[in-house]
Structure 1
Amino acid sequence: MHLERYSDLYESQIKHYQLTKEQLQFTGTPVESVLVSKDDEDYYPILVLDDEELVGYFVLHKREGVAPYSNNQKALLLRTFSTDYRHQGKGYAKQSLLVLPTFVKIHFPEINEIVLAVNVKNGAAQNLYLKCGFNDEGVRKMGSHGELIIMNLDLEESNAIK
Structure 2
Amino acid sequence: MSSMPEGTELKVELKFFRPEYEKALFEDYQVSEEQEKYTALPVRAIQLCREDRDRHPIVILAEKKPVGFFVLHRGDRIRSITESPRAMLVRSMSVNLPEQGNGYAKQAMTLLPKFVSDYFPDMNEIVLVVNQHNEAALRVYEQAGFEDRGHRKSGPVGAQVLLHYRMNRK
TM bracket (short chain): over 0.9
Q: Map of 1:55-94 to 2, 5 A cutoff? A: 55-94=67-106
Match of 2:7 in 1: none
Match of 1:7 among 14, 18, 24: 18
Matched residue pairs, number? 158
Match of 1:46 among 58, 61, 64: 58
Judged with a 3 Å threshold, the aligned counterparts in structure 2 of structure 1 residues 65 and 49 are, in CA distance, closer, same or farther, namely farther
Q: Map of 1:89-128 to 2, 5 A cutoff? A: 89-128=101-140
How far does the alpha carbon of each residue in 1:78-123 deviate from its partner, in whole angstroms, 9 at most, with x for none? 0111111101110101100000000000011111100000001111
CA apart distance, 1:10:
1.1
Q: Quote the Cα distance in structure 2 between the aligned partners of 1:64 and 1:14.
A: 28
Q: Does the Cα contact within 8 Å between 1:66 and 1:115 map onto a contact in 2?
A: no
Identity score, percent: 36
Q: Does the Cα contact within 8 Å between 1:65 and 1:77 map onto a contact in 2?
A: no
Match of 2:46 among 15, 31, 34: 34
CA apart distance, 1:14:
1.2
Q: Quote the Cα distance in structure 1 between the aligned partners of 2:30 and 2:134.
A: 19
How far does the alpha carbon of each residue in 1:118-143 deviate from its partner, in whole angstroms, 9 at most, with x for none? 00111111111111100100000001
